Structure formats: C-alpha cells, structure tokens
Amino acid sequence: MSGKRVLMAMSGGIDSSVAAILLLEQGYELVGATFRTFDSIRESCLKREKGCCSVDSIMEARYLAKQLGFEHHILDFRDTFRRYVIGNFVDEYMHGRTPNPCVLCNSHIKWGELVKAAEEYGCDWIATGHYARIAERDGHHFLRRAADTHKDQTYFLWMLTEENLQRTLFPLGGLTKPEVREIAAAHGFEALSKKTESQEICFVPNNDYRTFLTEQGCRMTPGEYVDAQGRVMGQHQGYANYTIGQRKGLGIATGTPQFVTRVDAEQNRVVLGSHDDLYINDVRARGGFFRGDASQPVLAQIRYRSQATPAQVKAQEGDRLALHFDAPVWAVTPGQSAVIYQDDLLVGGGFIE
C-alpha cells in the first residue's frame, strides 16, 4: 500500500504508544483507536474522561493521542469479543482443553473488527505495538520473528492471513524492549517508560480463570483422579480446574510427585502420572495451515514461553497437521497452539489436539 493514513491500535501502554511516536516521525497520519472488550465501564465515566471503572487504559490512550496531536476513537467490540474470545475460552475448558485467548483475539478482534474500522476511517494501514516483523518471499507475505527474541509475539499472531499482513505495520519489530523504554523517556513520557507490564488474561480478574468459569455458569463437578491404567487415586474438584503438566494444587498425596497427563471431560476424570509420562514426539493440530517446505526441517513451538525445537511436518490434510519432534517435548497441551517456523519466518500453525 502506498497511502500514509494509519489506524493505530492503542492500549495506553508503552508499546503501542512508542509505535505511534515512531510512525509519526516517519510521516504517517495517525488515527488512534482503543477498543472495549470485556469491562463494566459506565458511559458517564467515558464522558468525564477520568480513570475510573476500569477506564484507565482508555483514558491514557486518549490522552497520549491528544498530546501527539491526532484523533482518537473508542470502539465498542464487547459483543464480538464475548462471542469469539470468551465463548471459545469457556467452551475449550469445558471440553478439557486449555485455550490461549490472545490468538483468537488477534485474528477476530485486532485483525477482524479493527480492519472494518480502518475502512470506516479511511485508513490504508493498521498498526499495533506487537513485537513482530513482516517479510516478503517469492511474492508472498510472512510473519517474521522480532529482533528482540525475548519479546517476540509472532506465536500469538499465527492466525493472521496474508491479506492481513499486506496492510499491517509493526513499528517495534526491529527494536528491543529497553530501546522502546528509552524512546518513551526521550520524548518526555518518563512515567510511561517505567510502566510495568501485565501478564494476566485481560478479561479474567486476578488471573483466576477457575472463578471466572464459575461466574460464567460452568459447573465444577467433583470426579476421579486415575492413573494410566484407570485405577482410582482420589477425587478432583472438577476437570476444568486442571491443565496438562499441572503439579501444584492437586490435593492428593501419593508419596511421589504426580502431574496431570490428560483431562477426560467426557468421563469427568483427570489422569495423573510421572514427569516422564508427559514426554511425546508426535503432535496433531487442527484448524491450521502450512506454507513452508515440508521436505525441510522446521522449528515448532508448543507454548509461548517454550523454545521452538526441531521437528518435521509429517502430514497435512486440509487444515490438519501432523508434527514429529526430533526430541520428545514435554506437556503438550490440547487447546494451545503449535506454531511452525523456517528461517525465522512463521510458515504454519494450528490448535493442538
């Protein structure tokens, strides 16, 4: 695209704010957008423009846009967010899987509803504060890992389409987090440069997903802990309270450390085993794609905080993938994403079965 008008997604945090600063310096015309997803903000709070009723981040984004001299809009995406993100979050847990809501939020909200807003405001591009880059190869667009490998967020962005990438800007892709903080401070936003980051799920208070599920009407019915042979070991407090690899909070004493190795939603059973029982080589994924060279090795990542490790794509049938890891990987968790890289380019992904 050759236009210079950009819809800048702003959270009120340091990353999107510095992204906005950098784009302005590059001569882009910005339109700021902050969206409401899951909150209980009263309209009176928005009119008063005060940091109340969980409106702090929206007001911070609006204030920054005003300081930098560009228009800002508050977009209400709560209905879509509840339908696609929260609905999936609850449904996955109730089917014994562990979801990653950021993946769906990025595809359905930030590159779904936001693209529609860009059209409405006459914007050629959308931009965010994600740590990611975009590369072209053989006439196609791919996500590329960020320069700051500790902050790289491509894992959460694997569902973005090539059409999405063709109109996206990632101003922070070539920077490290310390450099981003320095830029904020250098432009007079000292408080912003020292702002801490939240690692919590945005719509789950105190990161307590179990209470959240209960508040959404999910019943936690006690059931049986069993071993791999089906022998009863004790009683759990509802299968949705547990995830693969969990050791703490099981409430069971056997004399040896026990880990959750499988969650059986149909039978309301949680299977326990040893640490070594959680190692596997073969992983299946659904709802995905692969655009790499299947004859060549890949690196595959099964959770955000894990390293991508050598693997091979053994089969692809429609949107289903079969991966074989060269060395066993630990605690592969249904519902999480398996994301595939070749030469720092994101070439595939899917939801782990």
Q: Which residues of 169-190 are buried (b: 16+ CB within 10 A; e: fewer)?
A: bbbbbebbbeebbebbeebebe
Examine the residue annotation and report whether 218 is marked as an active-site residue of this protein: no
CATH fold of the domain at 220-273: SH3 type barrels. (2.30.30)
Q: Which one from 45, 102, 105, 123 is the annotated catalytic residue?
A: 105
CATH fold of the domain at 5-205: Rossmann fold (3.40.50)
pLDDT score, position 81: 94
Examine the residue annotation and report whether 52 is marked as an active-site residue of this protein: no
Contact in structure between 267 and 284 (CB atoms under 8 Å): no
* Digit-coded pLDDT (tens) for 286-308: 999 999 999 999 999 999 989 99
- Residue 174 to residues 44, 170, 171, 306, 344, Cα–Cα distance (Å): 40, 9, 7, 22, 13
pLDDT score, position 48: 43
Q: Which one from 52, 53, 202, 218 is the annotated catalytic residue?
A: 202
Angle at 135 between CA 133 and CA 140, to 5 degrees: 135
* Structural domain spans, the chain: 5-205, 220-273, 278-352
Give the pLDDT means over successive 10-residue stretches in the chain (353 positions): 88 94 98 84 45 65 94 94 95 97 94 95 97 95 97 97 97 97 92 72 88 94 97 97 96 94 98 98 97 95 95 96 98 98 97 97
The pTM for the full model equals 0.92
Contact in structure between 280 and 344 (CB atoms under 8 Å): no
Spatial separation of the C-alpha atoms in residues 241 and 235, rounded to whole Å: 12
Contacts (Cβ under 8 Å, ≥6 apart) of 7: 31, 33, 114, 117, 118, 121, 123, 125, 126, 127
pLDDT score, position 50: 41
pLDDT score, position 53: 35
Spatial separation of the C-alpha atoms in residues 185 and 198, rounded to whole Å: 20
Classify domain 278-352 by CATH number. Answer: 2.40.30.10
Kindly state the tokens that stand for 175: 């920077």
pLDDT score, position 102: 94
pLDDT score, position 92: 98
pLDDT score, position 51: 38
